[in-house]
Amino acid sequence: MDYEAVIGLEVHAQLLTKTKIFCSCSSEFGAAPNTHTCPVCLGMPGVLPVLNRKVVDYTIRMALATNCTIARESRFARKNYFYPDLPKGYQISQYELPIAEHGHIFIEVNGGRRRIGITRIHMEEDAGKLIHDPNRPVSAVDFNRTGVPLIEIVSEPDIRTPEEAGAYLRKLRAILQYLEICDGNMEEGSFRCDANVSVRPVGTDTFGTRTELKNMNSFKHVENALTYEIERQKEVIEDDRELVQETRLWDPDTGVTVSMRGKEEAHDYRYFPDPDLLPLVVDEAWIEEIRSTLPELPDDRRARFVEAYGIPLYDAQVLTSSRPLADYFEACVEHFPEPKTVSNWVMGSILATLKTQNKTVEESPVSPERLAELLRLIDSGVISGKIAKTVFDEMLSSGKPPEAIVQEKGLVQVTDAEAITEVINQVLSDHAKEVSDYKAGKTKLFGFFVGQVMKGTRGKANPKMVNEILKNLLE
C-alpha cells in the first residue's frame, strides 16, 4: 500500500523585545544566571503581571505578515503544570481566544508552490532553564528566561513531506527575521519546532494517529526526524501493531525517535482565564498603524529581484532567503550594476566562504563595496575572471583591497599583443609534433595550446586575445 504523510508544525519564536512579557526585567540572552529576575517572573505570591505592549505589537506584525485575522479581543489563560523551571506552577499563555487565527503562507518546493495554513498565533511566556551538572547529582535552575516573550505559531496539517516541512520552517524564519522580531537562532533555542506527524493510505481523507516529535534543533534534524518517523509509522501499520498517540524525542546521535511520554490532553492542564489579566482589546487603528510600517517581505522581495534585476527566479529565491543576504546583494549591485554577475559571485564565492568560515553575511570578510571593486577590475579588463578567483582568496586572507593585491602580486592581465604572440610562438616551436598533428586535422589540440600559453603567462594572458592570435598563427 502507498502511504502519504500528514504533518503539522508548532513553532515557538522568542521575540526580540528589550524586556519580558509581564515585568520590566531584561530579556537579553547570556547574562549571569538569575540576574534578570524580579518578584513577578519568579512567581512570588501576590504579584501582578502587566502586559508588555511591544509584545503585542510584534505579534500583530507576524499575524499580518502571515495573513491572519486579528482578534479584536483575546485572552490570557493559565496552563497549569508542575516543573522546576516554572516557579508559578502555571504558564501564562493564550488558549481559547488567541490573538490571531486563519492565516497562511506560501512555500516553494521542487519548482512548485504550496499554500500552508496557519491555524493560530498566540502569545505566551517562556519557562526557565534547567542546567544538569554531569559531575554532580544536582540540577541548577536559571530563571533569566522565565517570562521572556514567545509567540507560538501552529500550522494546519497541510504539510506532506519532510522537505515541505523544512521549506515551511525556513520561510517562517525568514519572515520573522525580515520583521526584525526574532533572531531565528535554532541552536540557541530562539526558534523551536515540535513536529506532529501521521501517515495514511494515499487517497483517504481521514487522519491517522499522530505522534509529536521534540528535540530537533536544526532544520536538518526536523527533516531527518520526520523521515525516520514516517517510515516507523508505516512499519507499525504494515505489521498490524497499534500506533500510540505519544510524544517522541529525536536522538540526533542514533538517528531514531524514542517514546518519551503519552500525549497529554488539553484538559490535563486545567486551562482557565487568568484573573490577573484583563482581556486584550486591539482596535483597528492599532492594527493599521502596524500594517503601515511592515517591511517588504521575502515573497515580494523575490518577485522584485526577478523584475527589477532580471535575475533568474532561482537566484532571487536564494538571495532573498535572508534579509541581510538580500541587503548585501543590493548593496553590491549599487556599486556594480550588473546583477547577474553580482548574483553569481554572491551565490558562489561569498556563500561558500561564509559556509567554510561559519560566518553570517553581516560578518562577511569581503564587503559588498570590495566585491564590487573586484568585479570592476574584471569588467575593465585589468584582470581575467580566472585571476579574480586568486585575488578573491587573497582578499580573504589579507583583507586588502583587490587593486592593491593585483599591483603587489603583479596580476595585471597581459593584453600586449606582441608579448602574447611571443609566448605563443615559443609554445608552438616547443610542440612541433602537436602542431603538425593539428594541421593534419586533430583540431581539438587547440585547447592544449591555449593551456600551454596560459601556463606560460601564469594565467595572466587575456584569454580572448590568446584565442585570436593562436588561431591566426596556426592558420
In the complex, the residues that contact ligand ADP under the rule CB under 6 A are 6-10, 154-157, 196-198, 207, 210, 212
Return the number of the residue (114 or 376) whose C-beta is nearest ligand ADP.
114
Q: If contact means CB under 5 to 8 A according to the sort of partner, which of Mg ion, ligand ADP, Zn ion, none does residue 157 touch?
A: ligand ADP
The answer to whether residues 157 and 7 touch, using CB atoms and an 8 Å cutoff, is yes
Return the number of the residue (40 or 199) whose C-beta is nearest Zn ion.
40
Nearest-approach distance from CB 405 to ligand ADP, in angstroms = 53
Does 51 sit near Zn ion (CB under 5 A)? no
Give me the torsion for CA of 174, 180, 182, 186, rounded to 10°.
40
Nearest-approach distance from CB 89 to Zn ion, in angstroms = 17
Q: If contact means CB under 5 to 8 A according to the sort of partner, which of Mg ion, ligand ADP, Zn ion, none does residue 144 touch?
A: none
Place of cell 518578584: 39
Q: Give the total of residues touching Zn ion (CB under 5 A).
A: 5
Q: Supply the angle between the helices 417-430 and 463-474 in degrees, to the nearest 10.
A: 50
Nearest-approach distance from CB 26 to Zn ion, in angstroms = 9
Q: If contact means CB under 5 to 8 A according to the sort of partner, which of Zn ion, ligand ADP, Mg ion, none does residue 299 touch?
A: none
Among 5, 15, 23, 175, binds Zn ion (CB under 5 A): 23
Q: List the x/- string, 6-25, binding to Mg ion by CB under 5 A.
A: ----x---------------
Return the number of the residue (66 or 196) whose C-beta is nearest ligand ADP.
196
Return the number of the residue (155 or 452) whose C-beta is nearest ligand ADP.
155
Q: If contact means CB under 5 to 8 A according to the sort of partner, which of ligand ADP, Mg ion, Zn ion, none does residue 156 touch?
A: ligand ADP
Does 92 sit near Zn ion (CB under 5 A)? no
The answer to whether residues 132 and 197 touch, using CB atoms and an 8 Å cutoff, is no
Return the number of the residue (33 or 463) whose C-beta is nearest Zn ion.
33
Does 151 sit near Zn ion (CB under 5 A)? no
Nearest-approach distance from CB 6 to ligand ADP, in angstroms = 4
Q: If contact means CB under 5 to 8 A according to the sort of partner, which of Zn ion, Mg ion, ligand ADP, none does residue 197 touch?
A: ligand ADP
Does 55 sit near Zn ion (CB under 5 A)? no
Map the chain to HEC letters.
CCEEEEEEEEEEEECCCCECCCCCCECCCCCCCCCCCCCCCCCCCCCCCCCCHHHHHHHHHHHHHCCCEECCEECCEEEECCCCCCCCCEEEECCCCCCEEEEEEEEEECCEEEEEEEEEEEEEECCCEEEECCCCCCEEEEHHHCCCEEEEEEECCCECCHHHHHHHHHHHHHHHHHCCCCCCCCCCCCEEEEEEEEEEECCCCCCCCCEEEECCCCHHHHHHHHHHHHHHHHHHHHCCCCCCCEEEEEECCCCEEEEEEECCCHHHHCCEECCCCCCEECCHHHHHHHHCCCCCCHHHHHHHHHHHHCCCHHHHHHHCCCHHHHHHHHHHHHHCCCHHHHHHHHHHHHHHHHHHCCCCHHHCCCCHHHHHHHHHHHHCCCCCHHHHHHHHHHHHHHCCCHHHHHHHCCCCCECCHHHHHHHHHHHHHHCHHHHHHHHCCCHHHHHHHHHHHHHHCCCCECHHHHHHHHHHHHC
Specify burial of residue 323 (Cβ count, 10 A radius: 0-12, 13-18, 19+). buried
Nearest-approach distance from CB 144 to Zn ion, in angstroms = 9
Looking at 36-44, 52-60, 61-69, 354-362, which segment touches Zn ion (CB under 5 A)? Answer: 36-44
Nearest-approach distance from CB 286 to Zn ion, in angstroms = 25
Return the number of the residue (10 or 299) whose C-beta is nearest Mg ion.
10
Q: If contact means CB under 5 to 8 A according to the sort of partner, which of Zn ion, ligand ADP, Mg ion, none does residue 456 touch?
A: none
Nearest-approach distance from CB 36 to Zn ion, in angstroms = 7
Return the number of the residue (213 or 346) whose C-beta is nearest ligand ADP.
213
Does 21 sit near Zn ion (CB under 5 A)? no
Nearest-approach distance from CB 74 to Zn ion, in angstroms = 23
Nearest-approach distance from CB 358 to ligand ADP, in angstroms = 32
Return the number of the residue (10 or 57) whose C-beta is nearest ligand ADP.
10
Phi–psi pair at 322, nearest 5 degrees: -140, 150
Strand bridging mode 100-109 / 256-262:
unpaired
Does 127 sit near Zn ion (CB under 5 A)? no
Q: d(Cα 289, Cα 450) in Å, to the nearest integer?
A: 64
Does 38 sit near Zn ion (CB under 5 A)? yes
Return the number of the residue (259 or 426) whose C-beta is nearest ligand ADP.
259
Nearest-approach distance from CB 10 to ligand ADP, in angstroms = 5
Nearest-approach distance from CB 169 to ligand ADP, in angstroms = 12
Q: Site residues (CB under 5 A) for Zn ion?
A: 23, 25, 38, 40-41
Q: Site residues (CB under 5 A) for Mg ion?
A: 10
